[in-house]
Amino acid sequence: MRTTSNMLSNQYLTGYNQSLSQLSDIQQKISTSKDINKPSDDPVRIVRGLQFSGAANSNTMFSQNANDAISWMKTSDSNIISIQNVLTSIRTEVSKAISAGPASSYTTAAGIIDKAIDELVQLGNADMGGRYIFGGQNDTTPPFTRNSDGTVSYNGTYDGQLKNPALPFNAITNPNVATAGTITMTISPGAADPLRDKVNVDGQALFGTIDTTSTPPNQPQIFKDLLKIKQDVLNGTTAASGNAAVLTNDLGTIDAASNQVILAQSSIGARQSAYQTIKDRLVDDSLTIASDRSDNEDLDVAKASIDLQKAQNVYSAVLGVGARILPKSLLDYM
Amino acid sequence: MTSTFGGFNTAVSGLAAQQLNINTAGHNVSNASTDGYSRQRVNLVTTIPEAVYTASGKSYLGTGVTTQSISRARDFLVDAQYWQQNSTKSYWQSQSDNLGSIENIFSDTKTTGLQNVINKFNTALGTLASNPDGTAGISARTVVRESANALAQTLQQDAASLVQQANDISTRIDAQVTQVNNFTSQIAALNKQIIVQEVGGAKANDLRDKRDYLVDQLSSMTSVNVSEDQSGAYTVSIAGGIPLVQGNDATVLTVKDTANTPPYGYTTTSITANGGAINVIMKDGSIASLTKLRDETIGGTNGYLKKLDDMAQFFMQDFNAQHKKGFDMNGVAGDNFFGTTGVDYTLTANDPTAQIPPTSWISKLTVNSAFYTANGVNLIAAQDKNAVTGGTANGLNATALSNLLVKKPSTPSAALGDNSLSDYYGSVISALGVQSQQSQSMNSNQGVIVNATTKSREQISGVDMNEELANIIKYQQAYGACAKVMTTMDSMLDTLINKTSVG
């Protein structure tokens, strides 16, 4: 085979280019600390990377929602405990009123019960970041109002409410909406499920059936009961005989109310623990995703450093060979 | 009996031949790095001998050397092979360069790509689903609006970069066709000169080198078929049989630009010959590669624009349809999220690609301007159809909207088929990756083949400095020897004429 000096320099240039592009490749990988930098580096891994980034993003979103939901439910829970305490104190007042006492003691007890109702209204209007937690989907206005006549009205929404409360029932245009009081915060992929993803307790679940026909309308059952009990206690001053039986009966009503509240509390407690579990799982998942992602695209720095060293060696060898061999010709010896 | 001074002539012919050899070697050395140069050699032959009578009868006495020709070391078959391989190599090189720049447009690994804005939009919708009203709701709604805007702008930006690339390609095709015309007219001119120089049978070596080098360069732009006729002229035709050069004539190619080609509005070019009478379709080479990359509907700039357009169509049709299923903060049914209020983009009449002239969905993709009016963010329909009058903390439709981005749809959409937006984008990226990877490996494979062909050419035609220098030493020695013959003869004649005592 005939070899010419041009062939040597061409071959040298090809080799030089190859080693230089290898060097630049490794340098790009090291500077971005990523093994894959464009789709053609590895189409499969790039798309996996896209999927991981989507999954990481969803995970962050669901974790955020889970945090929101859990603090929502915690606030609900602590307020429900206070509500429970208020009901207990009312019960104490009523049971004290069953035994005879001076007229003023009944007035005082009724006054305490009235204040307790105010307190319940206040607890029912608890809010978190400007959102009222017991108002159902109408969470931007205080859900409970104490009217001038002492009654309490509920302004929120509740499960089973008419779509438009101002209009009569119509199966198509104005049906009862099963999830009208439900606030959802999704923490798992897919469509939101109002039953699974419910994070709130609405006014009806907390304080009993809302009476839309009362005057004024929308009074929750428990408040109606408490007003009657207050009246029953007041009545003790005027008609002491026979009132004890009524008040004893009222104790049963209060117990029923307590049970209602406990039911609401336990439902939110159960859901909170479910959310807590999922939140913990989301944290685990995020670690898994991060490590999958890192496995998929991160650069093995140790290997890259060695590759870089190798590429540099090759590069300097190429330069050395070029400098030593290419300039030599017969001319040097003539 | 030979003539007394015959030996002088023999030596002189030697001197002249060696000088020619040295001159040719000098020419070779001088052109060692001239592109397209092939080494030349002097073909020497002995002159016609003279009959002498010897004891055994007639013998022939050599009379010296003469030059038969100066030829160039060249193999036409290797040239033809090089031209063919070079076209293919140039085709793939151009493919891989341009696909590489499309890859740069979809720069997802740097968290500036489309996937990133899809993710952000998805998060924004997820946050809105949990916080549809109140102070948190206002900020969630604003984030939804702005991230949608960022998404629309990223799509448009990517599309604009692709359109820009298509325009660049058209400009480059223009420039390359001008080059082709330049090369073919030079080849035709060289044909003419070569015929004139070779009429007596000699070879016009340097002109042929120049002509072959022009064909070399031409072959990188388009595949060429070259044949040589008896007079020495090249006929250069491109695939499909259109002759670019025939004897003294070169066919001038013209490029017709069509600006703002629908639906994406870039410049397309078509190449014609004979004043527009013949459409020229190039094969192989960079021009064919560029044309294919620009116009291809699967892969290629046009194809990737179509993919982006599909995504824009998805937002205008599917996303809007889901948005319309929801209700806004005022309890009113939602309108378009993208585009203009009140327009039904599922109707053919509102399909930009069905307009005359057609435009793209991308050009229509904007966040509804109503969202930018006072309290406009409240028009984002986060609630589902079961929202109760007065209840605004219902984010079920926002969840449905977010699912549309990342979850496989229950009913296939016109734009994306059975895919979620995310999956669709992933498939675009993987297709691009595979395509680009293939072009890169084709490019490097073809590079190896071209290198091998270049090597075999170089083996035949290349100038080797050491070889030339060795030859020069040889020629120098021969020249000296010839001169020595002359001085020897001179001294012989001196002896004969001056030393013999005559008279």
Q: Kindly write down the DSSP assignment for every residue of B432-445, as one continuous string.
A: HHHHHHHHHHHHHH
pLDDT band at A238 (very low <50, low <70, confident <90, very high): low
The Cα B343–Cα B349 span in angstroms is 10
Instruction: Kindly determine whether residue B429 and residue A50, on different chains, have CB atoms separated by under 8 Å.
Output: yes
Residues of B in contact with A32 (CB under 8 A): 109-110
Residues of B in contact with A184 (CB under 8 A): 129-130, 394-396, 399
* B65 backbone dihedrals φ, ψ, rounded to 5°: -125, 150
3-state class (DSSP) for residue A220: strand
Of B119, B134, B427, the CB nearest to A131: B134
Q: What number of C-beta contacts closer than 8 Å exist between A and B?
A: 221
Q: Which two tokens stand for residue A322?
A: 């070029």
User: What ranges make up the beta strands (E) of A118-213?
Assistant: 127-128, 131-132, 144-146, 152-154, 161-162, 176-177, 210-211
Give the other-Cβ count within 10 Å of B482's Cβ. 21
Residue in chain B nearest A182 by alpha carbon: B394
Per-residue pLDDT of B185-221, as tens digits, reads: 999 999 999 999 999 888 899 999 999 999 999 999 9
- Which residue has 């109310």 as its token pair? A257
Note whether A225 contacts B: Cβ–Cβ < 8 A.
no
Residues of A in contact with B390 (CB under 8 A): 138, 157, 165
- In this predicted structure, the answer to whether residue A240 has a pLDDT above a threshold of 80 is no
Per-residue pLDDT at B1? 52
Helices (H), B106-230: 114-130, 134-198, 205-221
Per-residue pLDDT at A103? 81
Per-residue pLDDT at B110? 65
3-state class (DSSP) for residue B44: strand
* Helix or strand run (H / E) with residue B51: strand B50-54
Residue B374's region, left for phi above 0, alpha for psi from -120 to 50, else beta, is beta
Q: Which two tokens stand for residue A302?
A: 């140790």
Per-residue pLDDT of B318-331, as tens digits, reads: 999 999 999 999 88
Per-residue pLDDT at B222? 95
Axis crossing angle, helix A5-32 with helix B421-461, rounded to the nearest 10: 160
Q: What distance, in Å, lies between the first and last C-alpha atoms of chain B? A: 25
Q: How far is B297 from chain A (nearest CA, A)?
A: 20
Q: How far is B376 from chain A (nearest CA, A)?
A: 19
Q: Which of A322, A317, A319, A307 is nearest to A24 (CA)?
A: A307
Q: Is B25 exposed, middle or buried (CB count within 10 Å of its CB: 0-12, 13-18, 19+)?
A: buried
Q: Which of B166, B287, B267, B158 is nearest to B220 (CA)?
A: B287
Judging by DSSP bridges, how do beta strands B234-238 and A144-146 pair with one another? Answer: unpaired
Residues of A in contact with B466 (CB under 8 A): 5, 329-330
Residue in chain B nearest A329 by alpha carbon: B466
- What's the half-sphere exposure (Cβ side, CA atoms, 13 Å) at B254? 10
The series of mean pLDDT values per 10 residues for chain B, 503 residues long, is 80 95 95 92 94 91 93 94 96 95 82 88 94 90 96 94 95 96 97 93 93 96 94 91 92 92 92 88 94 91 94 96 94 94 93 91 95 94 89 91 90 90 92 94 94 92 91 95 94 88 63
Average of per-residue pLDDT values in chain B: 92
Question: What percentage of chain A has pLDDT greater than the value 90?
Answer: 63
Per-residue pLDDT of B63-91, as tens digits, reads: 999 999 999 999 999 999 999 999 999 99
Note whether A137 contacts B: Cβ–Cβ < 8 A.
yes
Of B386, B389, B396, the CB nearest to A165: B389
pLDDT band at A329 (very low <50, low <70, confident <90, very high): confident
Q: How far is B89 from chain A (nearest CA, A)?
A: 15
Per-residue pLDDT at A37? 86
Axis crossing angle, helix A243-297 with helix A221-238, rounded to the nearest 10: 150
Enter the pTM of the model: 0.88
3-state class (DSSP) for residue B413: strand
The Cα B461–Cα B213 span in angstroms is 13
| Residues of A (24-63) whose Cβ lies below 8 Å from B | 32, 34, 36-44, 46-47, 49-51, 53-54, 57-58, 60-62
Per-residue pLDDT of B136-186, as tens digits, reads: 899 999 999 999 999 999 999 999 999 999 999 999 999 999 999 999 999
Instruction: Kindly determine whether residue A39 and residue B106, on different chains, have CB atoms separated by under 8 Å.
Output: yes
For testing the chain A interface, which of B388, B460, B473 should be mutated: the one with the most A CBs within 10 Å?
Answer: B388
| Residues of A (302-331) whose Cβ lies below 8 Å from B | 329-331
Instruction: Kindly determine whether residue B32 and residue A50, on different chains, have CB atoms separated by under 8 Å.
Output: no
3-state class (DSSP) for residue B5: coil
The Cα B397–Cα A192 span in angstroms is 9
Residues of B in contact with A7 (CB under 8 A): 455, 458-459, 462
Q: Which of A12, A9, A326, A3 is nearest to B458 (CA)?
A: A3
Residues of A in contact with B443 (CB under 8 A): none
Residues of A in contact with B120 (CB under 8 A): 57
Per-residue pLDDT of A261-308, as tens digits, reads: 999 999 999 999 999 999 999 999 999 999 999 999 888 999 999 999
Convert B253-322 into a string of H (helix), E (strand) and C (coil). Answer: EEEEEEEEECCCCEEEEEEEECCCCEEECCCCHHHHHHHHHHHCCCCHHHHHHHHHHHHHHHHHHHHHHH
Note whether A173 contacts B: Cβ–Cβ < 8 A.
no
The Cα A329–Cα A326 span in angstroms is 8
Per-residue pLDDT at B5? 83
Residues 6+ apart with CB under 8 A from A95: A247, A251
Q: Which two tokens stand for residue A150?
A: 């002492």
Instruction: For residue B243, give Cα distances in angstroms to A121, B252, B289.
Output: 96, 10, 20
Query: Quick check: B264 and B276 in contact, CB under 8 A?
Result: no
The Cα B92–Cα B439 span in angstroms is 6
Question: What is the complex's ipTM, to 2 decimals?
Answer: 0.88
Per-residue pLDDT of A170-219, as tens digits, reads: 998 899 999 899 999 999 888 888 888 899 999 999 999 999 998 899 99
Residues of A in contact with B387 (CB under 8 A): 137
Give the other-Cβ count within 10 Å of B67's Cβ. 15
**Can you say whether the dihedral through the CA atoms of B211, B214, B216, B219 is positive or negative?**
negative
Of B130, B134, B390, the CB nearest to A130: B134
Per-residue pLDDT at B109? 66
Residues of B in contact with A210 (CB under 8 A): none
The Cα A80–Cα B301 span in angstroms is 62
The Cα B166–Cα B295 span in angstroms is 9
